[in-house]
Each structure stands twice: as structure tokens, then as C-alpha cells.
A and B are shown apart, each in its own frame.
Chain A
Amino acid sequence: MTEQETQEELLSRFELVEMMLKEGRRSTEYWGWTFVLWGAAYLIAIAWSYWWRQPNLAWPVTMITAAVLTTVVAARKKRAKPQTPVSRAIRGIWTAVGVAIFIFCFAVGLSGHAEMHSYIATIEILLGVANCAVSMVLRWRGQFFIALLWWISAVATCYVGSQWITPILVADTLIGLLGFGLYLMYRERRDRRLRVQHG
């Protein structure tokens, strides 16, 4: 083997390492569906609490159902793709914030000390925290705007009259959960199609 051939061989090894590292890191998990699921759950809970029987059960039932669905589907998806440090960080942020919201809602709900303005504003603040942290992990400005939306809504919720709390929450849900989730799913679909095209 000539010196040039040896060098080409070594260079191909180096390129292989770079390509495989990139390929491994590209194993992003797709999370758009969770935003859509939780957006739908929020809207169902709001509608149920206004227009259906047993309004006290609306939020606990829909939230627990959504949490169970998220856990089961995420566990199935986790099998197919390995986790990267980034995906673990994102999973950690949402799990921590999700658990915090659950504890807060149940504690305040059961204690009977809920004041609607601060109750909803706290949930909006926490959702803003999760979106902001994830946007920093992903270095993605788009998700940071969603965090800002939740935080602005939280401030607005503290100041508006009671009749405006639900419309603000519905608007947030439509934009920050349902709309954002659908946009993510569109991007993920496009990403998958591109990967198939480029082999």
C-alpha cells in the first residue's frame, strides 16, 4: 500500500467517526404529539368544567388521563430510539415541571384555598419555565417565544377580571400547546421525509 493510499484510508476512518457521531446525535426524539395531547386535554377539561356534569372531576380526570397516555406512549417510543444527553435533559425538564404542576394543583385544589388568579398564573409561570429551559437546551428561539407567551399571560392573569381568566387560558392553550404542537409535528414530519430522501 502506498503512502497516499494509507493516508486516504486513515482519512476515511476519520470521516467515518465524524459521520457516526453526527448520526448518533441526530437521534432526536419527536415530542410534538405531547403538546397536541396536552392542548387537547386542557381544552376538554375547560369545556367539561363549563358545560358537562360533575365539573369538579373535569381537571383531575383529564389531567390524569393525559399523564397516563403520555407515560405509556413515551415509554413505547423510548424503546425505538436511544437517548442522548440532550433528550435526557428535555425529558427531565418536562418531568420535573409536570410533577410540580400536579403536586401544586392537587395540594391547592384539595386544601380549598385556591384563588383563581394566582392559581392559573402559577401554572402559566411553570409552563413558561419548562419552555424557556428547553429553548435554552435546544438553543431555539421559537420555543423561547412560547415561554414568553406563558409568562405574559401569567402577568395578565394577575391583573384581569375573573371573566377573562378562562379566555386567556384558552388562547394560551390554542397557541402555546395545540398550535405549537402541530407546528412541531409538521417540522418533525418534514425532518423524517428529508432523512428518507438523503438515506
Chain B
Amino acid sequence: MNTNSKRKLLLPLLLACSALTVSFQALAEEHEHHHHQHETSSATPDPAAVSTDSIFNITDSWTAADGKAFQLDQLGGKPTVVAMVYTSCQYVCPLTVQNIKRIERALPAAQAGKVNFALFSFDPQRDTPAKLAEFAKLHSITAPSWVLAQGSESAVRKLAVTLGIKYKKVQSGDYEHDATISILDSNGVVKFQSDAMNKNVNDATDALKALLH
């Protein structure tokens, strides 16, 4: 608490000195490591830089169902079908998964392996990696092209805001949320979005195929 209040005092004082940028340049540099760009994964075709309108600019760390750390830029190099779900969800989320699997099945076998399928959980409290693995099993998700991941409340919020997905945690612990399927190109740029409740996945499949040729 002592160092905390000291920092609270120091910070405004420091900010007040912003005219003297030269004097605290050294300090500023020390802080920069928070915002270093992440390198694109080696699978990404263009290793130079993350596209400026890519969701890979979000660098929060997630945890995948296998317990390993996961970052959005690991989806680079292939187009990705993305949705946000939570495993205690009774109706909307299972249907979302079914519709994504419809998209998967609509692809020729040669193409299905060239696509990532990613499910991100709204529910950091209940959706542990083990719970996600159980959910995958329940829905017969076995292909290595699928990833299920959970992250901090702020990582969830940031991804949802980026994808334009509204949601709210209600008192029961459940989530009211938009059900949206998004399709990213291999650079992580959102190219197509549709209502995840729509059983007709032709448009989504076409959008995905257009990214695969």
C-alpha cells in the first residue's frame, strides 16, 4: 500500500512534467515493453508485420483446452472461422457449434484442413481448459484444426468488442450474447460475419472458399 500510494503520487507529478520529455525518456523506454508488437507466427505468409486492421494486433494471452498458452496470431496463415460461446449455454452455443460444423462439412476434404476453427469462451470462471476439452468431446470435435480457448475477463471483452459482439453476464452466471460467426482471412482481418443461428451456411461457406483458392 505504501509503494502504491507513492506511485499514485508520483504518477501525476510525473505527468505534469511531460514538457520535459527528454528527462524521462529513459523511463518511458522502460515502460514500452508492455506494448511491443508480437511477431507473426512462422506460418503467416507475410512475416513482415501484422496487418494494421488485423485482430492479431490484440496480444492478450489465452489458454487452450490442452492447457497451453494461446495467442490470436497463432491463427495466422490460414483463414479462420471464429465464434464466442460458453459451455454451460444450453441452446445458442451448441447450435453455433453445429452450424460451424456445417461449414466445415461443406468444404471439400482437401480444403477443410486448410482452415482454422476457433471457439473463445465468454465465461472465464466456469470454462476451465478441462471444461473446454469436455465440451469438445461432447461435440465430437477432434480435428487439430479446431481450437477452444478461455481467457481473462478483459481479454474476452477486448475480443468481443473487436468482433462487434455484445454480451452481458446475468445474475445466474449465464451470459446474454450475440451469436455471430466471423470469418478471418489468413492475416486475421475480419472478412465476413453472419448470424450463428442461421442454418443456411452457404454464404459463410462461399466467403470461406473465396479465401482458400
Tell me, yes or no, whether A binds B: no
A→B interface (CB under 8 Å): none
